[in-house]
C-alpha cells in the first residue's frame, strides 16, 4: 500500500522542523493526519513552525514542538522517550537538521566540530534513539536522512559541510543494508538528496525549487521504494546530476586529480563528457 507509514494513526519525527524542507515535510505529514513531532533548537522559529503545522493537523495536540539540540545524545534520548511514551514508535523519522557552519579545510576547529556534531552526529543520534523502537514495532516505517549533492561531488568551498554529507550518505547506505538483512524488519532507510532549494530567509531565485517541491519529490520516492531520492531543480536536470556524479567517481577510476571538475586542465574533458 502506498505510504503505509504516512497515515492517520501514525507519528512522524522531523528534525530541523522549524525551517525550510523540514518545516514543509512536517506540514505535509500533519496534513496526512499524522501526529508530528517537530525537533529543533528552542526559540521563536520552532514555536512559529509548531503553530503553522498545528493548523494542518487533524486533531488538536497533533503538532508537538520538542526543543532539542540534535547533536546532544542526551537531548535526543529525552525527545525519543517522550515520543515513544505516547506512540510506541514513530513510522517516519526524518533526520534533516543542518548547520552550514564549517567552511574550508583550514577553518577553525570549532566550526568543523560543530558541522560534524550537528550534521553527522545529529543523524546518528536520531537513528540510534528512534529506529530500534521502529524495528520492534514491526510496522512499515521509514527513516529519511537528508544528504546533499555536495556530499557526492565535493565542490570546493564548504568542505566541512561536504564531509558531513558524504558521511551521512555512507552511514545511511550501511543502515539500509543492515535493516534489509534484519529478519522481520519492516523499516527502510532512505537518502534524500535535495537540489538547490530556497529555505530560511534566502531570496527565491530562478532555478531554485521551493521546499514543497522537494517534499513532493520525497513522497513520490518513498512510494516508489527508492533509496536514493535525488531531486533535480529548475537549473540542474537529472542528466546533469548523472554527468557530475559519474565524472566525480571517474576521478578515481581514471586516475585524475581530485575535484578535477574544477581543475582548468580537465575542463574541456568534463565539458565533452557524455555518460
Ligand atoms: N536548501 C538547499 O538548497 C539544500 C540543498 C541540499 C541539501 N539540503 C539539506 O536539506 C536539509 C534541510 O535544509 P534547509 O535548507 O531546509 O535547512 P534550513 O537552514 O532552512 O533549516 C535547518 C534547520 O535545522 C535547525 N538546526 C540547526 N542546528 C540544529 C541543532 N543542533 N539541533 C536541532 N536543529 C538544528 C535550524 O534551527 C533550522 O531550523 C539539510 O540537511 C540540508 O543539508 C538543503
β-sheet bridge partners, residue 14: 38, 94
Residue nearest to atom 43 of ligand 1 (CA): 98
Residue by residue, pLDDT tens for the chain (275 residues) are 447 899 998 999 999 999 999 999 999 999 999 999 999 999 999 999 999 999 999 999 999 999 999 999 999 999 999 999 999 999 999 999 999 999 999 999 999 999 999 999 999 999 999 999 999 999 999 999 999 999 999 999 999 999 999 999 999 999 999 999 999 999 999 999 999 999 999 999 999 999 999 999 999 999 999 999 999 999 999 999 999 999 999 999 999 999 999 999 999 999 999 99
197 SS3 class: strand
CA of 237 to the centre of ligand 1 (A): 23
CA pseudo-torsion sign 97, 103, 108, 109: positive
CA of 246 to the centre of ligand 1 (A): 26
Mutational pocket test of ligand 1: of 13, 14, 15, 21, the residue with most ligand atoms within 8 Å of the beta carbon: 21
Q: Is 161 a catalytic residue?
A: yes
CA of 98 to the centre of ligand 1 (A): 4
Residue nearest to atom 15 of ligand 1 (CA): 199
Domains parsed from the chain with CATH numbers = 11-234 (3.40.50.720), 237-275 (no CATH)
How far is Cα 209 from Cα 220, in angstroms, rounded to an integer? Answer: 16
Residue nearest to atom 1 of ligand 1 (CA): 197
What per-residue confidence (pLDDT) applies to 3? 78
Q: Per the structure block, which three cell numbers stand in for 196?
A: 538547490
Radius of gyration of the chain (CA): 19
Q: What is the pTM of this model?
A: 0.98
**Which one of the listed residues 161, 171, 217, 228 is annotated catalytic?**
161
- For residue 70, which atom of ligand 1 is closest to its CA? 32
Q: Which residues line ligand 1 (CB under 6 A)?
A: 15-16, 18-22, 40-41, 45, 68-71, 96-99, 118, 146, 148, 194, 196-197, 199-200
- For residue 149, which atom of ligand 1 is closest to its CA? 6
What per-residue confidence (pLDDT) applies to 101? 96
DSSP string for 89-140: S-SEEEE--------STTS-HHHHHHHIIIIIIHHHHHHHHHHHHHHHHTS-
Distances (CA, A) of 170 to 2, 108, 124, 251: 27, 25, 12, 19
- E-strand ranges in the chain read 11-15, 35-40, 63-67, 92-95, 141-146, 187-193, 228-230
Amino acid at each position: 500500500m502506498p505510504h503505509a507509514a504516512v497515515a492517520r494513526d501514525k507519528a512522524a519525527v522531523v528534525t530541523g522542523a522549524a525551517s525550510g524542507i523540514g518545516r514543509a515535510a512536517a506540514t505535509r505529514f500533519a496534513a496526512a493526519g499524522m501526529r508530528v513531532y517537530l525537533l529543533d533548537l528552542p526559540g521563536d522559529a520552532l514555536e512559529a513552525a509548531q503553530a503553522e503545522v498545528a493548523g494542518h493537523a487533524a486533531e488538536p495536540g497533533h503538532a508537538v514542538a520538542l526543543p532539542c539540540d540534535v547533536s546532544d545524545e542526551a537531548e535526543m534520548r529525552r525527545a525519543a522517550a517522550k515520543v515513544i511514551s505516547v506512540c510506541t514508535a514513530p513510522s517516519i523519522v526524518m533526520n534533516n537538521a543542518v548547520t552550514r557552519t564549517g567552511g574550508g579545510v583550514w577553518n577553525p576547529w570549532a566550526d568543523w566540530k560543530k558541522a560534524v556534531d550537528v550534521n553527522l552526529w545529529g543523524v546518528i543520534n536520531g537513528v540510534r534513539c528512534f529506529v530500534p523502537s521502529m524495528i520492534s514495532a514491526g510496522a512499515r516505517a521509514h527513516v529519511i536522512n537528508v544528504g546533499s549533492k555536495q556530499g557526492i561531488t565535493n565542490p570546493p568551498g564548504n568542505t566541512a559541510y561536504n564531509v558531513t554529507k558524504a558521511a551521512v550518505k555512507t552511514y545511511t547506505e550501511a543502515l539500509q543494508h543492515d535493516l534489509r538483512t534484519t529478519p522481520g524488519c519492516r523499516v527502510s532507510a532512505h537518502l534524500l538528496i535535495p537540489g538547490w532549494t530556497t529555505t530560511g530567509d534566502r531570496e527565491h531565485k530562478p532555478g531554485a525549487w521551493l521546499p514543497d517541491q522537494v517534499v513532493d519529490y520525497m513522497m513520490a520516492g518513498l512510494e516508489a521504494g527508492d533509496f536514493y531520492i535525488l531531486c533535480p531543480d529548475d537549473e540542474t536536470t537529472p542528466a546533469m546530476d548523472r554527468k557530475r556524479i559519474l565524472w566525480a567517481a571517474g576521478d578515481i577510476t581514471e586516475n585524475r586529480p581530485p575535484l578535477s571538475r574544477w581543475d582548468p586542465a580537465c575542463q574541456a574533458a568534463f565539458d565533452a563528457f557524455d555518460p
